[in-house]
Amino acid sequence: MAANFKRGFPKWGDLSPLLKFTLPSLPNRKKRLAKALTIWDLRAIAKKRTPKGPFDYTDGASESEVTLERARRAYLDLEFRPNILRDVKEVSLECQVLGEKFAMPVGMAPTGFTRMMHSEGENAVARAAQNFGIPFSLSTLGTTSIEDVVKAAPKGINWFQLYMWKDRDASMQLVERAKASGVKNLILTVDVPVAGARLRDSRNGLTVPPSLNAKTLIDALPKPEWWFNFLTTPAISFVSMKNWKGTVAELLDFMFDPTMTFEDLKWIRGQWDGQLTIKGIQTVEDAKKSARYGADAIILSNHGGRQLDRAPTPLHLLIDVKKELKADLEIHIDTGIMHGADILAAIALGADFTYIGRAYLYGLMAGGQEGVERTLTILRSEMLRGMKLLGVNSIEELEPKHVRVLPTYAGLGTLPGVK
């Protein structure tokens, strides 16, 4: 058979455009983060650079951890239905939430002990949120005060999340400080009568700050930057209470109030004249009841899978809650969001707003504020590309018709990026 091409020795003129040599250079944060193309990539970097205790606190969930797995899987068990031949040269992610305009339909969820993940802590996250035009929520269990967060990000939208403690007066003192700092939205978390059984933390004996012992020192050897920052920056401490000498699990059980009821919600509504968001709604009935008690928004959340094992999956709950509540109050959602497409899907199915937690903490552990901004850059890029491929120009155009929920199949294997 005759050859379809003729071989010959390559000429230098043909090879020279293909040869691209660069001088070797030392690794740095910017180059490291630039290689991260997905949130899972940031997670992989974070795992290499963060001691086991703080990483597992972020990465883990309660008991079997199936609740978190199901929440993430729910977003993968969706099928998009794009419209073709639409002019999508210009698309906008802007949204209106609780009377504020944001650049993207995603906010930073409250997370505890954030300076344990990286020394830049809450300030880094608040500044990143400010730079991207989205809100940051400070946790009651934060390691930076609300006053310092506002000072770090004075042009940002800073919200405050409240755990109702057994000491009601101490709880409301935090609320008053938040109000004095200009906070307009109070996020009341209601799914913590006791702490969930977070087995990774118990096995690691996690304390805040992490204890220096033989085990942690051995773990520190391949993570020198984390330990250098830990030892040369102000001590990690709680700004809303005195330091706790026990484990994280013991602290949470000590603080959380198992007697809290809807009457307490009614009382808080009477104390707080700003926007009130209820976080931790897991049934249609409680969503409707929260609306009756004066909530401005609810967050469908199972606490990132960190409380009740095998709790409801927020994305599955969203459709029923939207059908029942319609426009009674805003419906927000968290847990399981690892891709910009997850955000678009939640909005299409009826959510007014979404929150990320682990996604930005992976970025924080991977590279401080720059890492958080890399998280937001990745999500924004994924959302913009997804909207163009769906044939929509704005968030308001996303509807249930753009998403189909696929049957859930068992044995689909591990989630992408998890090893």
| CA separation for the pair 219, 41 (Å, rounded) | 22
| CA separation for the pair 345, 87 (Å, rounded) | 21
Given the DSSP bridges, would you call strands 78-80 and 403-405 parallel, antiparallel or unpaired?
A: antiparallel
Q: Is 303 a catalytic residue?
A: yes
Q: Which amino acid is at 258?
A: P
Q: Which amino acid is at 264?
A: D
What is the maximum alpha-carbon separation in the chain? 91
Q: Which of 118, 303, 332, 402 is catalytic?
A: 303
For tokens 């590309």, the residue is 385
User: CA angle at residue 98 from 106 to 387, to 5 degrees?
Assistant: 35
For tokens 């939640």, the residue is 346
Structure tokens at 148: 């310092």
Sign of the alpha-carbon torsion through 262, 267, 269, 270:
positive
Residues labelled as active-site residues? 303
